[in-house]
Amino acid sequence: MPRHPVNPYSGPYVDRASELRKDPAWVAAALADPASFFVPVWRQRNLVRAGDSPGAVFVRHEVFAETLLAVSGAAADPAAATAVSRTILLGRFEGRACFAVELEGDEPPRLAEASEFADLRTAGAQLPATEAGLLAYARAMVHWRSRHRFCGVCGAPAAPANAGHVMRCTNPACAADAFPRLDPAIIVLVHDGDRALLGRQASWPPGRYSTIAGFVEPGESLEDAVAREVLEEAGVEVDEVQYHSSQPWPFPSSLMVGFLATADAARGVRVDGDELEDARWFTRAEIANGTPVLPPPQSISYRLIQEWYDRAGGTRLADAPGARLWILRR
């Protein structure tokens, strides 16, 4: 069976080594191994190389240990500081153990020359695909951990377990485990064959449109969520719903599940005025001429529009000289 398209932030970029998370001896050895490296996250920002050759910056073992000592105020030796709960095993990246590490403080620490902590939503498009995926993974894990410091059952403090992939209640009478969470959301390109339905939020700059999206509710299938969101936001009833692909979207913790759906454009559009301020049907010619401005290419929304657009044959969307994309800046 052929694989679905691989979207940005996804793919086999890392060996997650999940079987090693419950092996404290292996984790301790990996933390002390000079060959291991660390992916720092500060205020949900990732460390990237600035300038004309963008890339992720991975921190060496000795730099990490010194930084963790400074940030945590610990007076212990580097090995003890490394065991502090801010580390999360990500797995093996290019054959080496790698860990995410959460950094605190009002100002970003200086870890490497010509680098900066940047928002991955803007920096990700400039990074190699494997590095962007690893940074997204680290960002998502740190965000989850930062919001599960206390037990959701009894309110006692929680402590990390399984190399950072579990937050366990420290109350012996409770000892409840919390696992990394994802918020599933559908995202759909609705079309009638010749036209695509796109909408825009009031907060977006003029001209920007995108596909329709929304979170899946309890007791709801993905297909049901597609039909509900399109009807709620645009007043359009969809017919056939076809799965396309999915994308991790750690901003902060979503999994975007992408679909293509058909609908009759003659039914008209009725926006809800809450999620969307406008929605309309666009032809391929309008899109090729720059109306509307499309989402950035690292988003699954662009991939869905591209899939529909390219089905007609002829010039592909990526080669259409008049098509315009959202420009994300740091």
Each residue of 173-186: pLDDT tens digit?
A: 999 999 999 999 99
Question: Which residue in this structure is represented by tokens 């297909």?
Answer: 223
Residue among 245, 269, 261 at smallest CA distance from 192: 261
Give the CATH class of 183-325.
Answer: alpha beta
Please report the pLDDT score of residue 13 as a whole number: 93
Enter the tokens of residue 130: 């494997």
What percent of the chain has pLDDT above 70?
91
User: What does 6-72 look like in DSSP terms, one character per residue?
Assistant: PPTT-SS--B--GGGTT-HHHHHHHHH-TT-EEEEEETTEEEEE-SSS-EE-PEEHHHHHHHHHHHH
CATH topology of 19-146 equal to that of 183-325?
yes
CB within 8 Å of 27: residues ≥ 6 apart: 20, 21, 89, 163
For domain 19-146, the question of CATH label 3.30.720 is answered with: no
Is pLDDT of 287 > 80?
Answer: yes
- Which amino acid type is present at position 302? Y
What percent of the chain has pLDDT above 90?
76
Residues in the chain, total = 330
Is pLDDT of 77 > 80?
Answer: no
Please state, as a whole number, how many other Cβ atoms lie within 10 Å of the Cβ of residue 246: 20
d(CA 225, CA 182): 16
d(CA 28, CA 41): 21
What does the domain layout of the chain look like in residue ranges? Answer: 19-146, 183-325
pTM confidence score:
0.88
Asked if 38 and 135 count as a contact pair (C-beta separation under 8 A), the reply is no
The per-residue pLDDT for range 85-134, each reduced to its tens digit, is: 589 999 999 999 999 999 888 888 888 888 999 999 888 888 999 999 99
